[in-house]
A and B are shown apart, each in its own frame.
Chain A
């Protein structure tokens, strides 16, 4: 799967979710390839696993303020702190984005599975994928914040036994 293909899928899926569910238009930043998962950061990270002929992980990462903004747009209310509702909302946005990315990928390579998202909020944590694939990263800007959508996919060694690669989180 080529980086440019993944970028287009992420852009299409993400803009559709934000336009339909959050009534918000996004500006897309310049995509890039990262050799590793994001380094030490603060804020909210939502992770989801993909499995099938290709396996890997998807991730939405943003500052706490942006997470509150995204949740506020989705639920039409203001959030003064990152609470359970905010984490749930960010997880569901991640689920919808990668559910749509999965549908687009399936048109090329066949059925894929999607895990239930895991959302982490904290300070000075880093993420690491035990896989060796590169991450396609697409930045997005919305009024009141910005966020990145990351996707790492590699060819499954054994298609029948493919499972999402484990993620680890380290608090530094």
Chain B
């Protein structure tokens, strides 16, 4: 079954890089939906079902932690794996993401292999 993925990051560059990594990964990739912040992501989730979400933490309007909290509190989205991809390496924000139900996190800068490894077992 194709894997539909949402990428949430306020940087278009990072969204593009992650999309490239996903396309190169040996996964049955379906559609890739992009969002520039948490609010955009929640809006897109109302119209699209996805199997996996990759999200930054520090974003304007609605950050990744608020997005994660909203996803986990909605019965329709609460089981979607969410991987945080962030510069917040080892900080309190990462701990908070884990306690909110993040499926994992990858620290920026990242390699394609680190992303692929993190996705193993999540789909």
B-contacting residues, A81-96, CB 8 Å: 84-85, 88-89, 91-92, 95-96
Q: A114-B87, A116-B60 are in contact. Are A17 and B11 (CB under 8 A)?
A: no
Residues of B within 8 A of A100 (CB): 87, 89, 109
Measured CA separation A159–B47 after assembly (Å): 44
Decide if A148 is an interface residue (CB 8 Å cutoff).
Answer: no
Measured CA separation A110–B10 after assembly (Å): 26
Decide if B79 is an interface residue (CB 8 Å cutoff).
Answer: no
Q: A75-B17, A116-B10 are in contact. Are A16 and B109 (CB under 8 A)?
A: yes
Chain A residues with CB under 8 Å of chain B are: 16-17, 20-21, 71, 74-76, 84-85, 88-89, 91-92, 95-96, 98-100, 102-103, 106, 111, 114, 116
Chain B residues with CB under 8 Å of chain A are: 10-14, 16-17, 20, 58-60, 86-92, 108-111
Task: Give 14 new A-B contacts, CB below 8 A, not counting A21-B110, A114-B88.
Answer: A16-B109, A20-B110, A21-B109, A75-B16, A88-B13, A92-B13, A95-B58, A95-B108, A99-B108, A103-B87, A103-B91, A111-B91, A111-B92, A116-B59
